[in-house]
Amino acid sequence: MSTGTNFHNSFDEVFLRAIALGTPPAAPMALKPCASTQPAPLVVPPDLNWSGIDGNWSTFPILLGSSQQAFSILISTTNDITFVPNLFNDSLSNGGDFGLDTVGLQLQDSVLSTDQQIIGSVATRDFYLGLLGLGTTYTNFSTYNQPLPSLVWTLKNQSRIPSLSYGYTAGASYRYPGSLTLGGYDKSRFEPSNVDFTFPVDTAQNLTVGIQSITTNNTLNRGGLTEDITSFTSGTPGHLSLIDSKVPHIWLPRDVCDRIEQAFRLTYNPRSDLYVVNNTIHTQLVQLNPALTFRLGSDVSGGNSTTIVLPYSAFDLVLAAGFPYSNATHYFPIRRAANASQHTIGRAFLQEAYLVVDYERSTFSVNQAAMPSPLPQHQIIAIPPPVPSPNPAASPPVR
C-alpha cells in the first residue's frame, strides 16, 4: 500500500487505544446537516475466514492504500482507528506507527473507499489480526495540525450512512460468521432485548453495563456431571464492565473466576494468566455442555435488565501452537481482573450477543444473537439521525 502521510506516535500495548498528545490545535468540525434523502445503511459482509491465535474468529475484509492491499481484520467497539499488523517499518519491535491513507470497505458488490483515514501499524508478536475501529471521536497527534475524524464519523459526514450507529455480532465458528451494519442493524441476527442502556459521562467507556449475575445450569462439581443451577456471583456485588470486542476474553473479579474454575475443573496457569482445559476435562465439558447466563443491567443491581445465554461452545477456545504453549491448547476465556478498571466483556461474549449502538442518541442495546438454521435473509433497518435540536450538540470529543 502507499503509506500516505506517515507520523510516529505511541500506543497502549495492552488495549491498543490510541493516545492523543497535546491539546487540539483546531476545533473539530461539526456534522453536516442531514440530507433530505437519507442514505441506506452499509452492510459490511464477513470474508468467511476464521482466524486467530487465541480463538477461531470471524474476520472482515478491508483494502488499504491506492494499491488496495487486502487485510482480514476484527472489529473494535472502543477504538476510533484502523489498526493493521506491522506495515510501515519492518524494524519495529514493540512499537507502532500511524499514517494517513485510504481505507476501503469491501461491500457485497463494490469497494467503498474513504481517504485520509488514520491507520495504525502495530509491531508486536501478539498482534496477529488488524482492527477496524467503530468509534466516533477525533484523534489528535502533536505532529499533525488538526484533529482527525474516525472512519464512522467521516462516513456519516459524507452522507454515506444515515447516522452514527451500527449493529454488530462477532459470529461464532460453531454456527455463523459475524455481522456488521453501519448506520443501522440487521434485524434477522438477534432477538430484541427491549432494554436500552445509556452512555456514561466518560466517553471512553461508552459501552458500559452492569453484570448483575452469572449462573450456569450444569457443573463438574464433586468430580461428576451435576445438573443444577449454580451462581458464580451470589453473595458478591455486581460489577460494571466495558464491552470491548478487540479483547478476546471476559475479565471478571477474582472471586468469580475462582468459582468458575472450581465448577468446571479448569486449571489456572499463573505464567500465562490463562485457564487451560486438559483433554479429559474438555471431553467432559463437551458432554455436559453447560450454558452460562449473564444478567446485564444499567447498574450493578436493580432496574431493567436483559439476559444473554452462552453455550459451552462459546468458551471452548483453542490457543494456537506457540501462543504461549508449544502445542495447541484448549482454554476457557476468562481472566482475573486486578481491579475494576480491567472488568471487560470481550469478543468471546459477542459470539452470542448482538450490539445495536446509536452514538447520536447516546444509547445502545445488548441482544441475544439469533442463529436459526438456515440463516434468513438480511433485514436491514436504518437508524435515522435524531430530529435536529435548536441547540445542536457539540462535536465529538478529541482523544
Question: What is the model's pLDDT at position 91?
Answer: 36
Q: How many whole angstroms separate alpha carbon 349 and alpha carbon 243?
A: 9
Distances (CA, A) of 79 to 2, 136, 157, 360, 364: 23, 9, 19, 17, 16
Q: Where are the domains of the chain?
A: 1-22+41-161, 197-355
Burial of 343 (0-12, 13-18, 19+ CB in 10 A): middle
Residue percentage of the chain with pLDDT more than 70: 82
Q: How many whole angstroms separate alpha carbon 337 and alpha carbon 264?
A: 19
Residue percentage of the chain with pLDDT more than 90: 67
Q: 25: number of CA atoms within 13 Å, CB side?
A: 10
Over residues 207-227, the mean pLDDT reads 82
Burial letters 263-275, b for 16+ CB under 10 A, else e: bbbbeeeeeeebb
Place of cell 438480511: 378
Q: How confident is the model at residue 35 (pLDDT cuts 50, 70, 90)?
A: low
Query: What are the residues facing 133 on neighbouring strands?
Result: 76
Question: What is the model's pLDDT at position 229?
Answer: 75
Confirm if 114 and 25 have CB atoms less than 8 A apart: no
What mean pLDDT, rounded, does the chain reach? 86
CA angle, 48 then 51 then 57, to 5°: 75
Place of cell 442463529: 371
Residue of 323 and 142 predicted with greater confidence: 323
Question: What is the model's pLDDT at position 178?
Answer: 97
Question: Does residue 335 register a pLDDT over 70?
Answer: yes
Question: Does residue 127 register a pLDDT over 90?
Answer: no
Q: How many whole angstroms separate alpha carbon 25 and alpha carbon 383?
A: 33
User: What is the third-level CATH fold of 1-22+41-161?
Assistant: Cathepsin D, subunit A; domain 1 (2.40.70)
| This prediction's pTM | 0.88
The conformation of residue 398, written as its DSSP 8-state character, comes to: B
Q: How many whole angstroms separate alpha carbon 122 and alpha carbon 201?
A: 30
Among the four given CATH numbers 3.40.50.1370, 1.10.10.60, 3.20.20.80, 2.40.70.10, the one describing domain 197-355: 2.40.70.10
User: Which residues lie below 8 Å from residue 97, measured CB to CB, with a gap of 6+?
Assistant: 6, 7, 8, 9, 87, 88, 89, 120, 121
Q: Specify whether the backbone of 55 is left (phi greater than 0), alpha (psi in -120 to 50) or beta.
A: left
Question: What is the model's pLDDT at position 82?
Answer: 93
- Element of type H or E holding 131: strand 130-133
Q: Are strands 42-44 and 5-8 parallel, antiparallel or unpaired?
A: unpaired
| pLDDT tens, residue by residue, 269-309 | 999 999 999 999 999 999 999 999 999 999 999 999 999 99
Fold match between domain 1-22+41-161 and domain 197-355: yes
| pLDDT tens, residue by residue, 2-15 | 445 554 433 333 33
Q: Which three cell numbers stand for residue 86?
A: 506491522
Distances (CA, A) of 173 to 39, 128, 178, 240, 252: 32, 18, 9, 28, 24
Nearest to 380 by CA among 190, 193, 198, 196: 190
Q: How confident is the model at residue 237 (pLDDT cuts 50, 70, 90)?
A: confident
Amino acid at 128: Y
| pLDDT tens, residue by residue, 175-193 | 999 999 999 999 999 999 9
Confirm if 281 and 220 have CB atoms less than 8 A apart: yes
Q: How many whole angstroms separate alpha carbon 260 and alpha carbon 254?
A: 10
